[in-house]
């Protein structure tokens, strides 16, 4: 019997790549997005495009109902839809914070609440949640985004145990930086509307923005690599929870989990600290006025 997957965020990037990958491997695909006019991935008897806004519970239920009406049942649900945010924490508005969490955390929560009863009634299934490299090693100037993804990461690891008696298997996909998704460029374009950069932060903001446009020392992942990982996770029978995608993310996982706290701490300063040419910054660090970030995870 042909299996069926519902995927969110299919208008572009990871979601579109995943929908195409599953379809090419013989699955029925419910490809959802806020506006179905954004879909340009073709059509077939095994593909249903449907509007779904993860911040709108009614649209979530409508998409699930449409998928079941078309294909009979769902075997897997993949949470891809999300938004990025590159901003100074101090000046990020409450409205912006809530918007990020509504999309990146509460949206997938609502998706799972709708998916779980359906999967349980049909003997089980798979839920795959896409988080981020930043849920393991948080990057500066992305604190709100990091927090939303880290919360989903933690929740997924918790629910894989809680839902195991129902034969519902959860998986996590943790991509590194994927430049072709244009996440940072989009965030930068929206930044004037989202936050103010005080003069005290300007040098560091410029440094971090320059990092994303610089040449990386390792080969970065593509949306197709992420789609491959999503498909592999759905087919996996080994009990593996996390799929790390990208050499940069592999390095982060190694530093976070396979080195000492002192080594990890020193590495984060080298990776994310203000350039050592800043005399004021170095002076503050030596005096103890600036503290290294607390380790997470």
Enzyme catalytic residues: 145
DSSP state of 75: S
In Å, how far from its chain's centre is CA 145? 9
CB pairs under 8 A, 24+ apart, for 272-278? 272/139, 272/140, 272/208, 274/203, 274/204, 274/207, 275/207, 278/203
Asked whether the beta carbons of 101 and 90 are under 8 A apart, the reply is no
Sign of CA pseudo-dihedral 266, 270, 276, 282: negative
Asked whether the beta carbons of 17 and 227 are under 8 A apart, the reply is yes
Count of alpha carbons within 13 Å of 85, Cβ hemisphere only? 29
Helix axis angle for 13-24 and 223-235, nearest 10°, is: 50
Tokens of 245: 């995608």
Interatomic CA distance for residues 223 and 230, integer angstroms: 11
For the chain, percent helix, then strand, then coil, each to nearest 5? 55, 10, 35
């Amino acid at each position: 019997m042909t299996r069926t997957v519902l995927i969110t965020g299919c208008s572009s990037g990871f979601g579109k790549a995943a929908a195409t990958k599953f379809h090419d491997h013989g699955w029925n695909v419910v490809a959802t997005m806020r506006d179905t006019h954004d879909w340009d991935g073709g059509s077939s008897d095994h593909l249903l495009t449907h509007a779904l806004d993860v911040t709108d519970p009614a649209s979530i239920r409508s998409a699930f109902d449409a998928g079941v009406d078309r294909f009979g049942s769902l075997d897997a649900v993949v949470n891809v839809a999300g938004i990025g945010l590159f901003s100074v924490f101090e000046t990020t508005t409450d409205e912006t914070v809530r918007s990020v969490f509504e999309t990146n955390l509460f949206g997938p929560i609502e998706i799972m609440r709708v998916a779980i009863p359906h999967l349980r009634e049909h003997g089980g299934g798979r839920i795959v949640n896409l988080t981020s490299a930043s849920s393991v090693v948080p990057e500066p100037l992305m604190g709100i985004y990091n927090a939303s993804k880290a919360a989903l990461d933690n929740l997924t690891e918790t629910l894989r145990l809680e839902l195991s008696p129902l034969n519902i298997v959860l998986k996590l996909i943790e991509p590194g930086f994927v430049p072709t998704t244009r996440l940072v460029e989009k965030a930068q374009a929206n930044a004037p509307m989202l936050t103010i950069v005080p003069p005290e932060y300007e040098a560091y903001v410029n440094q971090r923005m320059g990092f994303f446009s610089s040449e990386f020392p390792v080969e970065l992942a593509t949306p197709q690599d992420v789609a491959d990982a999503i498909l592999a996770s759905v087919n996996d029978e080994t009990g593996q929870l996390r799929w790390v995608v990208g050499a940069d993310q592999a390095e982060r996982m190694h530093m976070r989990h396979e080195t000492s706290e002192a080594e990890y701490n020193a590495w984060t300063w080298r990776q994310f600290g203000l350039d050592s040419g800043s005399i004021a910054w170095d002076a503050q660090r030596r005096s103890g006025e600036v503290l290294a970030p607390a380790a997470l995870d």
